[in-house]
Amino acid sequence: MRPALDLLEVAEGGLTLSAAEFELIRNLARERFGLDLRQGKEELVKARLGRLIRQGRFPSFRSYYEYVVSDRTGEALVSMIDALTTNYTSFRREPAHFEFLVQHLLPAWRNRRSLRIWSAACASGEEPYTLACTLLEHLPPSSSPEIHILATDISTRALSAAERGIYPAERLRDLPPVWLPRFFLRGHGSYEGHMKVKPEVRRLIEFGRLNLIEPFSHAEPFVLIFCRNVMIYFDRPVRQMVVERVTSWLEPGGYLFVGHAESLAGLKTGLEYVRPAVYRKPSPGELPAGSRKGRR
């Protein structure tokens, strides 16, 4: 008789998730997109993947797993990623970052020829659009640097929503009042109650799919990288790898912002600590004091 602990019941449809099936899914999630489904996440896996299993009429979690790994299009894996991760975000999320950008960084960047910024886990687009609106509001149009924002995410579903740039009006209620008429169009007809990002904002942003645990390259380095609220999904070795890869594309003197619920403590980053969730990459020849801060 199979031990009771080896079976985890799924309420819908009488499906069960065995310990072996959980390990298969757990290993696949870590190998393909770095997700750390540690022990105790069984209920999350059952709830999140149960819908896909029912929709696809799979008889078991193992048969669903075999379908995902054999799908050469990669679409099944993307659907699995979307189901297991939460693409929650909002406009001006963690506003202290945008206040620091306006008060401390933009005054020093006014004379730059260009500003290249990377939103490395952009979800449904609120973060890069907030960045674009902030830059347009606070940089003088007559002498403003050329702005390019790269916005990437692993989820094609989230990117599709980001590229549309259409949001329920209630999601914008906490934005500065002057932003709504300046940066958004009010929806009519079937889009009543929605707002769409104006073309002048949208043109500053390039969207693209990117898996942070796979090798990637960019044309040029960035002066600012937002990599927020994504490393909470990774274990320490994967966080180390991702931070190394991301910061390799940060120009000397540039800044990395992480989520306030995240920490680089214990990681070898080569970055200096500036304030909570804000780090700076020292320029060549700078005194090494910042590296001591970076280990905080």
pLDDT, tens digit, for every residue of 140-188? 877 779 999 999 998 888 999 999 999 999 999 889 999 999 999 999 9
Judge whether 188 lies within some domain. yes
User: Are 177 and 120 within one domain?
Assistant: yes
Q: Are residues 20 and 157 in the same domain?
A: no
The active-site residue, picked from 26, 32, 116, 153, is 153
145 and 250 fall within a common domain = yes
DSSP character string of 9-42? E-TGGG-EEEHHHHHHHHHHHHHHH-----TT-H
Q: List Cβ neighbours of 142 (8 Å cut-off, separation of 6 or more).
A: none
Q: What are phi and psi of 140, to 5 degrees?
A: -65, 130
CATH number for the domain spanning 74: value is 1.10.155.10
Single pTM value for the model:
0.85
Containing structural domain, residue 21: 4-84
208-246 confidence digits (pLDDT tens): 999 999 999 999 999 999 999 999 889 899 999 999 999
Domain count, the chain: 2
In a domain, 258, yes or no: yes
Task: Quickly state the pLDDT bin for 87 (edges 50, 70, 90).
Answer: low
36 flagged as catalytic? no
On whether residue 89 sits in a domain, the answer given is: no
What is the predicted pLDDT for the residue at 14? Answer: 66
Domain CATH code at residue 138: 3.40.50.150
